[in-house]
Amino acid sequence: MLSVSNVSKTFVLHNQSGAKLPVLTKSSFSVDKGECVVLLGRSGSGKSTLLRALYANYLVDEGHIWVRHNGVSHVRDSDAISDTTNTCDVRRNRCEHQATWVDIANAQPREVLEVRQNSLGWVSQFLRVIPRISALDVVAQPLIEQGVDKKQAKQKAAALLTRLNVPEPLWSLAPATFSGGEQQRVNIARGFIVDSPILLLDEPTASLDEKNCQVVIELIQEAKQRGAAIVGIFHDEFVRQSVADKYYDISTATLRKA
């Protein structure tokens, strides 16, 4: 579902005479259907940088990030993972297949948007939405963008908000007025409303109490059961142990079973 091959990333500090800060070096691992890989490493080791690179928020210096995608094919399914270290230019390799792989690290912007809409879900630490949009509409929006009926989308949004213990009187209000924990629960509901084949989770339980952490664990386990491939960062050891199938240590670039 997701294959990372020799990904490296260096930040250039322009306000410090162009000093270079290597963050990722030759990171390589893969994630299968129904599997959760948890990223490990000390603070500042590059966990969030790698996760943002998987979502194409950051460009990488080198390497490939192959995402299995249910849209227009850029590389044949049989070819993509047989050699993830090749220099294939996805912009020149087009063919029509249902089972496809896109190198999101080297894809064009419109291809990145297509992959995000159809194959790649994301839950960040912070909720960023347009002001004055109600919490219910914020959560329902990704489903509506996929063509789902508005009423049906809002029903699913309401169910998720209920499950995540967001009080119903808040649903009609803009999340900008909420507490940090309430905003995070809205963010989680938005991230899980679409059954994305691949989910990227950046500390989704950081602002949550024990009760709501357990709800998030259940949502992750249910996503795994339906076949989602998940990569996540979790500050809580109990959450890590509850959801991880494998651990990828950023500092040593090693993958091991949980």
pLDDT in tens, 81-100: 444 444 334 333 433 445 68
Given 3.40.50.10490, 3.30.310.10, 3.40.50.300, 3.90.1490.10, which CATH number is that of 2-72+97-257? 3.40.50.300
Give the mean model confidence (pLDDT) for residues 36-51.
Answer: 94
Give the mean model confidence (pLDDT) for residues 194-217.
Answer: 95
Measured CA to CA, the distance from residue 145 to residue 54 in angstroms comes to 22
Q: So what's the pLDDT on residue 98?
A: 59
Q: So what's the pLDDT on residue 128?
A: 79
Cβ neighbours for 216, distance < 8 A, ≥ 6 positions apart:
164, 188, 204, 205, 208, 239
Domain boundaries, the chain: 2-72+97-257
Structure confidence by residue, pLDDT tens digits, 210-221 = 999 999 999 999
